[in-house]
């Protein structure tokens, strides 16, 4: 799988951990930066790079990291075709893919540590979406909300 990864300065401390976790599973990494945790940058710029890569078919999934994960998640979910989930536990990371069909994992580097980031990354990248009719029906409703603003 091709995995696009990006972070802002707040997410930088976990970026290398996430990259190493994804590589250990055999995934191809597309690193969109930032490459420096000391220079303040705007998370939407980096979230866009990941979402755009997914929408163009350059990446299959994405991981974005900011300080809390919240800003990255909000920004990612504004992009058509992106379903992002903020996950700070193992269950949410795999269940988000399986039931909610997330294609972008959002992490908060000021919330979780290295060991948990590694575990969550592995859970997200190892999960496959479940096409059970219940989950497909629910995600179709989500797409209608995205497209039309109503069901």
Model pLDDT for residues 50-84, shown as the tens digit of each residue: 999 999 999 999 999 999 999 999 999 999 999 99
Three-state secondary-structure class, residue 29: strand
**If pLDDT is split at 50, 70 and 90, which confidence band does 6 have?**
very high
Domain that holds residue 136: 2-148
Q: Which two tokens stand for residue 106?
A: 């959002």
Annotated catalytic residues are 66, 99
Counted domains in the chain:
1
| Distances in whole angstroms, Cα of residue 19 to Cα of each of 35, 36, 63, 131 | 13, 15, 9, 28
- Tell me the Ramachandran region of residue 2: left when phi exceeds 0, alpha when psi lies from -120 to 50, beta otherwise: beta
> Domain of 56: which CATH number?
3.40.1400.10
**If pLDDT is split at 50, 70 and 90, which confidence band does 116 have?**
very high
pLDDT of 149 reads 87
User: What whole-number distance in Å separates Cα of residue 89 and Cα of residue 75?
Assistant: 21
To the nearest whole percent, how much of the chain has pLDDT over 90?
A: 95
Q: Which two tokens stand for residue 81?
A: 């075709």
Question: To the nearest whole number, what is the mean pLDDT of the chain?
Answer: 97
Three-state secondary-structure class, residue 134: helix
Q: Which residues pair with 6 in a beta bridge?
A: 64
What average pLDDT does range 99-113 have in this prediction? 98
Global pTM reads: 0.96
pLDDT of 62 reads 98
For the chain, the first-to-last Cα distance in angstroms comes to 33
């Amino acid at each position: 799988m091709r995995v696009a990864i990006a972070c802002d300065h707040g997410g930088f401390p976990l970026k290398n951990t996430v990259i190493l976790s994804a590589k250990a599973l055999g995934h191809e990494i597309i690193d969109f930066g930032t490459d420096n945790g000391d220079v303040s940058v705007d998370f939407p710029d980096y979230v866009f790079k990941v979402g755009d890569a997914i929408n163009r078919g350059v990446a299959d999934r994405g991981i974005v990291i900011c300080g809390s994960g919240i800003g990255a998640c909000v920004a990612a979910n504004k992009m058509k075709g992106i379903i992002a989930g903020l996950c700070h536990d193992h269950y949410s990371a795999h269940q988000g893919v399986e039931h909610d069909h997330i294609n972008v994992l959002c992490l908060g580097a000021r919330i979780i540590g290295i060991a948990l980031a590694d575990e969550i990354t592995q859970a997200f990248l190892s999960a496959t979406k479940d096409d059970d009719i219940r989950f497909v029906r629910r995600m179709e409703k989500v797409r209608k909300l995205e497209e039309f603003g109503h069901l």
